[in-house]
Amino acid sequence: MKQNNLPNVVFVGQPNCGKSTLFNSIAGLKAETSNFPGTSVSHTYSRVNVFGTLFNIVDLPGTYSLCPQDPAERVALGHILSEKPDVIVNVIDASTLSRELRLTLELLELGYPMVVVLNMMDVAERKGIRIDSERLSAILGVPMVETVALHGRGIKEFLDKVVELFNNPVRPLHLAWSQEVEDKISELVAAVPPELSAPPGRRFTSIKLLETGGFYCSRFLAEFEPELDAALKRISRELSERRGMPVYEVIAAERHHLAMKIFENTTSILCGKHLTLENRIDSVLMHPILGYPILLLVFLSAFFLIFKVGSPIESLFMNPLEKLRLLTASSLGQGFAFHTLDGLLQGIGGGVVVVLPYFIPLVFLMSILDDAGYTARAGFLLDVFMHRMGLHGKSVAPFILGFGCNVPAIMATRILESNRDRIITSLLVPFIPCSARTTIILALVAFYLGPFFAFGFYAINIAVVGLLGFLISRFFKGPSPGLILEIPELRRPVFISIFKKVWLQLSVFIKFAWPLLIAGSIVLSLLTWAGATPLINKILSPLVAYALGLPQELGVTLVFGFLRRELSLVMMLQALGIDYQNLLTVITKEQILVFTVFVNFFIPCFSTLAVLWKEIGKKWALVSAGLSVGVAVTLSLLVRLVF
Amino acid sequence: MNIIPLIEAPFNVPLKIIEITGGVGVRRRLLTMGFNRGDVLELDSRAILNGPLIVRNVTHGTRTAIGRGVAFRILVFRADEAK
């Protein structure tokens, strides 16, 4: 993973500690910050020049401990063990110091040179928490710096400490636990053969073996290291018998007690000062009754705003795009060259028409809500409804992202702990109308049938997602593990952090989704060039003409539309040989509705399918495609019957 | 001392964790997120239709939304009555 021989500086911290904000302020436009625990799912790299020394800096996903519980946390530990960092930067939310110290103690066990950053000092001060950081630094035996990363406070001092530590690396000492536990650990250390030890050393290896019960390697141990296996089992049993709790709880309790002792020795809390305004706002936002109309209002106004912003911008692009097409046609004729170029241009243009007017404003608003801490609150409010779908509140964040583009939404399912939840959420995300589908719904349903139909369309769409979730989760054994979701403090969103988030989402779209859109668009153009369209239309006519009651010419648009979904409207007009204003002269409103329903629910676009394949495997990607065909056919038939 | 699951506890009174029961996965997760024996919690609010609870961890100064199933497994007693 390391691309060069530069020294490695690795950022580690618990979710919501402001680690990514600190990282971003040093790295430039490369990482995402999030309020939703652990959304920076893949680790982000950057090369930075700090006072003349080049460093490779790495932002790991937020992790509560080094015993990973979800895929994102596994990335964190895996990276530390494989890369042997030169400096570890442990970022701490100073306002919840006592809890965050536990991870710090775990990191000390690794024995790598480490800087501790007490971040969010402003929040801690407002909460009345006073930390004697010099004393804390002395107890932990590592350099320490106070920062407010959001406002750039303390960044220079922080960089100074990193360079200083890199030039004079000091390996921290681990802090001792209670004697009886230490004795047992020493016994186990003696039984660990040096060649079997993880890079940080035998003590670290022994502790991890105890904590995981040798879970990851129990078979290996039993077969090849019977002595170590026997020692591990005996010591685990003795410890858990003596303390009356499983051995991982013994270790956790040791760290907890040590952390609490250090916390009490270095921190004083001035009473009477509370975040009263924030608390009052919060009690309304998360009110069991008031919370819901507010939630509805927030999302409705977001969509209304996007509608108001998006449509005018989109119409600015539509005409030049059509003119460009006519121009290429007049200069190149109707041959292979024209169709290839036309496919390319339409693919690029289609992307622009979706990205600028809808995708960017949507992601922008979602990032504001996320940065302010609202996504976690929405997760709390919607947990009840998610439960009916066999999921819980944590899945709300990917769903919300899905309204922008399904691709990053499916990537965001990595924050879910259980594989079961990941698969169900990933299967449902493609049914969330993304910005490309929003354009179609707005252009066809809202324009020809009125805004109420468009609202109805959305409402029914969300109901369909709910129903599908309810049905799909029946096929998965075992219940969802249940909601444990940290609610971060409400924060005022900061523009630069939002800008970076939009940039990250946009870069996923540009790097992953767009090239596939363009490729699909070219394939479709070449189909026309090869004269395959009438044939395909004929083959599809039983479905298109008889079952759905649509003009036969729409066959290719409907079925291969997923190759170029964002241009379904343009393709429809081309297939029918009519312009937008005169659409009603060739098809009825009922047909428009059937068409929109089918296009909206049919096979997730090419890029979504590809990311599903990559994230949850071939089998589930195919299940998703099959599911969407079924849903699209059923729903459009239903619509035809009802109207 | 009256031991009750968190789900049945009253709002806005200090509650001390006495034990966390249930599967290893949930217990480990709660431990790492700062729910230890002896920590003091307070219930803030609850969503409609038996939804999740908002739990304030007074010991660590954090707030967490906890689903009903999980809240059932955290056993607490009223710290103000224990005296």
Residue A1: per-residue pLDDT: 41
Look at residues A569, A141, A498, A70 and name the one whose alpha carbon lies nearest to residue A318. A569
- Edge-to-edge strand order for the sheet containing A114-119? A44-50, A53-59, A8-13, A87-93, A114-119, A144-146
Kindly state whether A275 is in contact with chain B, defined as any CB-CB distance less than 8 angstroms: no
Look at residues A527, A521, A501 and name the one whose alpha carbon lies nearest to residue A607. A521
Task: Select from A167, A188, A218 the last residue of a domain.
Answer: A167
pLDDT tens-digit readout, B5-31? 998 888 889 999 998 888 777 888 888
Per 3-state DSSP, chain A is made up of helix, strand and coil in percentages (nearest 5) of 70, 5, 25
Tell me how close the Cα of A64 comes to any Cα of chain B, in angstroms: 6
Residues of chain B found within 8 Å of residue A286, distances taken between Cβ atoms: 44-45, 47, 54
Q: What is the CATH number of the domain that holds A32?
A: 3.40.50.300
Task: Verify that A118 and A14 share a domain, yes or no.
Answer: yes
ipTM here: 0.88
Task: Verify that A249 and A346 share a domain, yes or no.
Answer: no
Mean pLDDT by 10 residues, chain A (643 residues): 71 86 74 40 71 83 78 73 87 91 90 92 86 92 91 89 90 85 87 77 84 67 76 87 87 90 89 67 86 89 77 77 78 78 81 77 84 87 84 84 81 79 91 83 83 86 90 78 82 81 79 80 81 83 82 78 70 74 81 87 80 86 90 89 81
| Closest A-chain CA to B30 | A484
Kindly state whether A244 is in contact with chain B, defined as any CB-CB distance less than 8 angstroms: no
CA angle at A247 for the pair A244 and A252, rounded to the nearest 5°:
100
Residue A458: per-residue pLDDT: 87
Residues within 8 A of A (CB atoms), B 10-69 only: 24-34, 36-37, 44-52, 54, 57, 59-69
| Closest A-chain CA to B37 | A253
Look at residue A19 and tell me if it is in a domain: yes
Task: Verify that A236 and A321 share a domain, yes or no.
Answer: no
In DSSP terms, B19 is beta-bridged to: B75
Look at residue A46 and tell me if it is in a domain: yes
Total structural domains in chain A?
Answer: 3
DSSP state of A143: -
Tell me the residue type at B7: I
Task: Verify that A400 and A352 share a domain, yes or no.
Answer: yes
Kindly state whether A322 is in contact with chain B, defined as any CB-CB distance less than 8 angstroms: no
Look at residue A417 and tell me if it is in a domain: yes
For residue A640, count other CB atoms closer than 10 A to its CB: 18
Alpha-helical segments (H) within A84-225: 97-110, 121-126, 133-140, 155-167, 179-191, 202-212, 218-224
Look at residue A274 and tell me if it is in a domain: no
Closest Cβ–Cβ partner in B27, B29, B60 for A96: B60
Task: Verify that A224 and A196 share a domain, yes or no.
Answer: yes
Look at residue A278 and tell me if it is in a domain: no
Look at residue A284 and tell me if it is in a domain: no
Q: E strands along chain B, which residues? A: 4-5, 15-20, 40-46, 53-57, 62-66, 74-78
Residue A431: per-residue pLDDT: 92
Tell me the residue type at A33: T
Kindly state whether A252 is in contact with chain B, defined as any CB-CB distance less than 8 angstroms: yes
Residue A566: per-residue pLDDT: 66
CA–CA separation, A166 and A309 (whole Å) = 50
* Full domain range(s) for residue A66: 8-167
Task: Verify that A64 and A150 share a domain, yes or no.
Answer: yes
Task: Verify that A96 and A211 share a domain, yes or no.
Answer: no
Residues within 8 A of B (CB atoms), A 375-404 only: 376, 379-381, 383-384, 387, 392-393
Look at residues A112, A173, A123 and name the one whose alpha carbon lies nearest to residue A146. A123
